């Protein structure tokens, strides 16, 4: 077990801070843990409003907010070759050895991975969500995914269910896909210092109130549970198009004093909302992995969830009660959970979660994937084109054409802006004190 | 008067440093001169020549009106005037440690724009990375007291960072040595 070499990684995604979400947090925590392991991490994303240019985050994490305008759902406008110059500049400046793209729905990720492959860099892709196969949007996205993954070095999925989904959608050989689950920041999600009294049972729901997250199920389940158990109260946090339906349900059954609507809860306040409850209810209709239930379990709540996607893989059986996405089944699951409550110990659950899930573990496993990716052989253009041809009768030829044009653009760019004109950035050495200035080591530049 | 000259050149820019250390006026001048780009001269000259040749052949061989020849001559003259002369000749910064900093831009048309910043108004010189949709480059700016925006030292040119570093170091030394520290 010799010393592992240190990598220089570029994380690419449309989704990053200042947005908060599963993918954004994943990239941030993974980058921080990789920095602690001694690797160099740079993040590339699109500009968010006025936040454009180079920014530094905790631990010296450098983020490039490239001024491409997002056009729909936080995604950059897909121009195929438009991002080639800036991607090439960043890869050369930071002396990157490996590019890691996140989320199949991010156009910047697909473009950056395509350009990185053209320029000969090794590429890793992480898929965070499950997608369908049948509707028009999914068909097109799966084709794009097939194109990107045809030539990826390694892929990572967040659960075994997600691996199956990704492999079926993209036609990638399963040996190339690693499963590394997400983790939770157990230092932030701690249980309440004193146990809550159990004469009134509080059920917490925090999710975006959209169809995909099962808001319609909540509309059926909440009145039924309130009818069966007079001592149960609900706290609903989150906002979305389905919020109106839940408010209507509240009015119809006169549950204003038993169902509290908090509206959108900022990420920093989630823990304080969670520790005010005994049970966490998750009603999603599809989930590749569910970080929300990890956060709830880390705070010592018992979880009731729908048995969909990767949810059964997340928690041990004594910490979660699963049900079909059907209102009656969910009501029965809540009944079972209420009866299990006296045996639960929040502090013990928190300590268990600390051992089971940690971002440092995710970073170590990801490091193994990077080592494997860097050992992949270098292939020239012709060998890589043969892989694209297998994507389909028409699509294969189209993909080959796209890659050939990208290759030609790259050579044109090498003539117009030679690599020696792009200056490499010296590594900034952070002093140990937190509030000190960062001083660059410019003496040898 | 001994002057310490140092010179760094890359294909596009040449950096000259005049350091009059021993003279009575202790000034430190840094110049960035734009080199003539031979390939551009060649390209512009060639296209002007081709344009004129096409017009001449059209008017002579095909008996087109003389107006086309005149227009093409005008166009090539315009082309040469616009593209042959460099838009910016030279940009310089003169650091007078007791008084302040003078930023100067010399344009190809002969016009020179100067700006003086007193030394106690300069809070700090910074080297920034600027990201555009197609590239990322280094720029040297000054944080000036009372101004919301950073003042770029080199407004028009983008010299490479190895030319900017000695200027940055000199500015840092001048800014910290100033008598007014608060």
* Tens digit of each residue's pLDDT (9 = 90 or more) over B77-109: 888 777 777 788 889 999 988 888 999 999 888
Are B64 and B147 found together in one domain?
A: no
Q: Distance from A53 to chain B by nearest Cα, in Å?
A: 5
Instruction: Please give the tally of structural domains in chain B.
Output: 2
A chain contacts of residue B136, beta-carbon cutoff 8 Å: 54, 64, 86, 89-90, 93
Distance CA A359, CA A211 (A): 30
Who among B128, B134, B160 is closest to A423 (CB)?
A: B160
B155 touches chain A (CB under 8 A): no
CB contact under 8 A, A67 and B161: no
- Identify the closest residue of chain A to B162 by CA–CA distance: A445
Superfamily of domain A8-183+359-421: Glycogen Phosphorylase B; (3.40.50.2000)
B chain contacts of residue A90, beta-carbon cutoff 8 Å: 136
CB contact under 8 A, B165 and A423: no
Are B112 and B54 found together in one domain?
A: no
Residue range(s) defining the domain that contains residue B125: 7-36+91-177
Q: Is A20 helix (H, G, I), strand (E, B) or coil?
A: coil
CATH number of the domain to which B167 belongs? 2.30.29
- Of A343, A351, A345, A321, nearest to A333 by C-alpha is A321
Least confident of A66-75, A122-131, A397-406: A66-75
CB contact under 8 A, B136 and A65: no
Are B156 and B79 found together in one domain?
A: no
B133 touches chain A (CB under 8 A): yes
**Domain assignment present for B46:** yes
Q: Distance from B133 to chain A by nearest Cα, in Å?
A: 5
pLDDT over 90 (residue B27): no
What ipTM score was computed for the predicted complex, to two decimals? 0.78
For the record, the structure tokens of A229 come out as 């158990």
**Domain assignment present for B96:** yes
Q: Distance from B131 to chain A by nearest Cα, in Å?
A: 5
CB contact under 8 A, B136 and A85: no
Superfamily of domain A201-356: Glycogen Phosphorylase B; (3.40.50.2000)
Distance CA A434, CA A257 (A): 46
Task: Enter the DSSP assignment of A268.
Answer: G
**Domain assignment present for B133:** yes
User: Which ranges in chain A are annotated with CATH 3.40.50.2000?
Assistant: 8-183+359-421, 201-356
pLDDT over 80 (residue A109): yes
Q: Distance from A106 to chain B by nearest Cα, in Å?
A: 18
Buried (b) or exposed (e) across A419-430, using 16+ Cβ within 10 A? eeebbebeeeeb
Are B80 and B107 found together in one domain?
A: no
A94 touches chain B (CB under 8 A): no
CB contact under 8 A, A53 and B129: yes
Q: Please give the model's pTM, rounded to 2 decimal places.
A: 0.87
Q: What share of chain B is helix, strand, coil (3-state, %, to 5)?
A: 35, 35, 30
Overall average pLDDT of the A17-27 stretch: 89
**Domain assignment present for B116:** yes
Q: Which residues pair with A428 in a beta bridge?
A: A440
Distance CA A123, CA A117 (A): 7
pLDDT over 90 (residue B17): no
pLDDT over 80 (residue A174): yes
The span from the first CA to the last CA of chain B, in angstroms, equals 35
Are B163 and B96 found together in one domain?
A: yes
Are B11 and B75 found together in one domain?
A: no
**Domain assignment present for B182:** no
């Amino acid at each position: 077990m010799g010393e592992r070499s240190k990598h220089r990684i570029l994380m690419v995604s449309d989704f990053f801070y200042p947005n908060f979400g599963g993918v954004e947090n994943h990239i941030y925590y993974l980058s921080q843990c990789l920095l602690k392991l001694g690797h160099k991490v740079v993040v590339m994303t699109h500009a968010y409003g006025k936040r454009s240019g180079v920014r530094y985050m905790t631990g010296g994490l450098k983020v490039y907010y490239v001024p491409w305008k997002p056009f729909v759902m936080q995604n950059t406008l897909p121009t195929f070759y438009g991002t080639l110059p800036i991607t090439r500049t960043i890869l050369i400046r930071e002396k990157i050895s490996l590019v890691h793209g996140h989320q199949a729905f991010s156009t910047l990720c697909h473009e950056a991975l395509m350009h990185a492959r053209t320029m000969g860099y090794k590429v890793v892709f992480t898929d965070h969500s499950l997608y369908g196969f049948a509707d028009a949007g999914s068909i097109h996205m799966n084709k794009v995914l097939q194109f990107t993954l045809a030539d990826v070095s390694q892929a990572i999925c967040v659960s075994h269910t997600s691996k199956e989904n990704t492999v079926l959608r993209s036609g990638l050989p399963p040996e190339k896909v690693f499963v590394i689950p997400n983790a939770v920041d157990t230092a932030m999600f701690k249980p309440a210092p004193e146990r809550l009294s159990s004469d009134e049972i509080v059920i917490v729901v925090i999710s975006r109130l959209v169809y995909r997250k099962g808001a319609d199920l909540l509309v059926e389940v909440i009145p039924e549970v309130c009818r069966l158990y007079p001592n149960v109260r609900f706290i609903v946090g989150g906002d979305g198009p389905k919020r109106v339906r839940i408010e209507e349900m509240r009015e119809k059954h006169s549950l204003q004093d038993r169902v509290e609507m908090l509206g959108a809860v900022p990420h920093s306040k989630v823990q304080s909302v969670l520790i005010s409850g005994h049970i966490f209810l998750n009603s999603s209709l599809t989930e590749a992995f569910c970080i929300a239930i990890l956060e709830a379990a880390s705070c010592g709540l018992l979880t009731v969830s729908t048995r969909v996607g990767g949810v059964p893989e997340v928690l041990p059986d004594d910490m979660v009660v699963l049900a079909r996405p059907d209102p009656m089944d969910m009501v029965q699951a809540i009944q079972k959970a209420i009866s299990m409550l006296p045996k639960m110990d929040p502090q013990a659950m928190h300590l268990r979660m600390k051992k089971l899930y940690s971002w440092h573990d995710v970073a170590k496993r990801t490091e193994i994937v990077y080592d494997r990716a860097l050992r992949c052989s270098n292939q020239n253009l012709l060998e890589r084109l043969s892989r694209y041809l297998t994507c389909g009768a028409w699509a294969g030829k189209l993909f080959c054409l796209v890659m050939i044009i990208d290759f030609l653009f790259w050579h044109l760019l090498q003539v117009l802006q030679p690599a020696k004109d792009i200056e490499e950035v010296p590594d900034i050495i952070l002093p140990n004190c937190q509030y000190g200035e960062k001083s660059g080591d410019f003496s040898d530049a | 008067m001994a002057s310490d000259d140092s010179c760094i050149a890359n294909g596009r820019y040449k950096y000259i440093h005049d350091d009059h250390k021993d003279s009575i006026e202790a000034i430190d001048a840094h110049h960035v001169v734009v080199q003539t780009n031979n390939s551009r001269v060649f390209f512009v000259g060639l296209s002007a020549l081709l344009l004129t040749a096409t017009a001449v052949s059209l008017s002579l061989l095909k008996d087109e009106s003389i107006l086309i020849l005149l227009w093409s001559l005008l166009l090539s003259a315009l082309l040469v005037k616009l593209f042959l002369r460099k838009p910016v000749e030279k940009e310089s910064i003169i650091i007078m440690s007791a008084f302040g900093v003078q930023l100067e831009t010399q344009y190809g048309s002969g016009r020179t724009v100067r700006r003086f910043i007193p030394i106690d108004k300069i809070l700090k010189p910074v080297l920034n990375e600027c990201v555009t949709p197609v590239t990322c480059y280094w720029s040297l700016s000054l944080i000036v007291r009372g101004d919301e925006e950073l003042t770029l030292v080199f407004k028009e040119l983008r010299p490479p960072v190895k030319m900017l570093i000695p200027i940055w170091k000199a500015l840092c030394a001048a800014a910290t040595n100033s008598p007014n520290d608060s």
